[in-house]
Structure 1
Amino acid sequence: MRGKLNTSMIIETAAKIADENGLDAVTLTHVATKLNIKKQSLYNHIDNLFHLKCELVILANSHLKQYLMHAAVGKSRDEAVLEVAKAYRQFAHTFPGQYQAIISLAWECKDNENFRAATRELMDILFKVLSQYQLRGEYLTHAVRGLRSIMHGFASLEASGWFRQPIDKEDSYLLLVQTFIYGIEAIEKE
């Protein structure tokens, strides 16, 4: 492994650990064990655990961006919003550790320029999707914040074990997103 080890392998290993065992399981010791190397070898590529976790957030942001971008391609307005919302929730289900990293570690990495760039790219997708509506002034920013809050709120509550009633969660989520769309369309007509 010594000659082949690189930063990307380390970060991807950390992402796998987070998704399989939870974000708290991402330690330098666990990453080194998974890579079958000595812990000290990691320091040739990363500074410390904080650096690794910031890189993990950047990777997760980029990964989520790809999910949302793929969902939005070739779609417009209501269909684009619905597909992006579905992709966001699917990402949170499929990559729970990466999603948790985005949500819980982002503030800690806010001074990292690569993190800020990855976050801007992710948010640009939401702005592009919602810019298809005729929202004036600050309403576009309000709409992006609203959609992100809906997606994150539902995904977070769901991951925390809420919504135990036997009503289909997918139906609840889609109804919530559709209600948001109706609201955006109402603002658009003003």
Structure 2
Amino acid sequence: MRLTKETVIQTAADIADKDGLGGVSLRAVAEKLAIRTPSLYNHIDNLDGLLREMAHRGMREMNARMLQAAVGRSGDAAIKAVSVAYLEYMIAHPGVYETIQWALWHGSAETAEIFEQYKSLLVKLILSCRLKNPDTGEILPLLTGFLHGYCTMQLGKAIKNPEGAVRGLEMALDTVLLGIHGTYGQG
């Protein structure tokens, strides 16, 4: 098997999803690939660079899943579908999700650009709700904070009972959306 940068990133992601972000080290990746640690430097600069690459790949994949979930939907239905896709990605890739959160604090311009794509999708969905006064500067942080906080707090239960976690998210989101519609009015 020829070692590639993508193989190194995928191996690190697999380790993160199994053992959490704390389980990812260059040594652990090298051992999993049955190579010596210095061989990794042919494909990556250092551990932080590897984590950023892993996070960027995960962010792009999560964004793609969320965008796909929004296709053909608008308003509250689109926001719910995208939120479920977010939670399902987190359930499937808890370590990569943890790495994404790390990258938001330790990222690069590329990290910020990918995160902007996520926020841009949510802004479009907020605007599709046909609110009278859609102040996305207020609504966007509310939605992103709710989504991240709720899903993160529910992750352990969600892995054990994904269907229950999705139902719980949808019910909680109904309450948040009711508040948004009440505050900003239906157009």
What TM-score comes out, normalization by structure 2 length?
0.87
Instruction: Indicate the larger mover: 63-72 or 152-161.
Output: 152-161
What's 1:42 paired with?
40
Gaps of 5+ in 2: 159-163
Task: Output the CA distance in 1 between the equivalents of 2:49 and 2:11.
Answer: 14
What's 2:145 paired with?
149
Task: State the Cα distance separating 1:135 from its structure 2 match.
Answer: 4.8
**Pairing partner for 2:186 from 168, 179, 189:** 189
Structure 2 residue identity aligned to 1:188: G
Q: Please tell me whether the aligned partners of residues 133 and 188 of structure 1 are also in contact (alpha carbons under 8 angstroms).
A: no
What's 2:161 paired with?
none
Q: Please tell me whether the aligned partners of residues 17 and 94 of structure 2 are also in contact (alpha carbons under 8 angstroms).
A: yes
Taking only the aligned residue pairs, the percentage that are identical comes to: 29
Task: Output the CA distance in 2 between the equivalents of 1:85 and 1:171.
Answer: 11
Spell out, residue by residue over 1:63-104, the C-alpha distance to the aligned partner (whole angstroms, 9 max, x if none): 211121111111111110111111111111111001111123
Task: Output the CA distance in 2 between the equivalents of 1:104 and 1:185.
Answer: 33
What's 2:75 paired with?
77
Task: State the Cα distance separating 1:169 from its structure 2 match.
Answer: 4.4
1:1-190 matches, within 5 Å, as: 1=1, 4-109=2-107, 112-135=108-131, 139-159=135-155, 169-186=165-182, 187-189=184-186
For these two proteins, the number of residue pairs brought into alignment is 181
| RMSD of aligned Cα (Å) | 2.1
Task: State the Cα distance separating 1:160 from its structure 2 match.
Answer: 5.5
Task: State the Cα distance separating 1:137 from its structure 2 match.
Answer: 7.1
3-state SS, counterpart of residue 45 of structure 2: coil
Q: Please tell me whether the aligned partners of residues 53 and 105 of structure 1 are also in contact (alpha carbons under 8 angstroms).
A: yes
Task: Output the CA distance in 1 between the equivalents of 2:79 and 2:134.
Answer: 19
Structure 1 residue identity aligned to 2:50: L
3-state SS, counterpart of residue 91 of structure 2: helix
Moved over 4 A (4+): 135-138
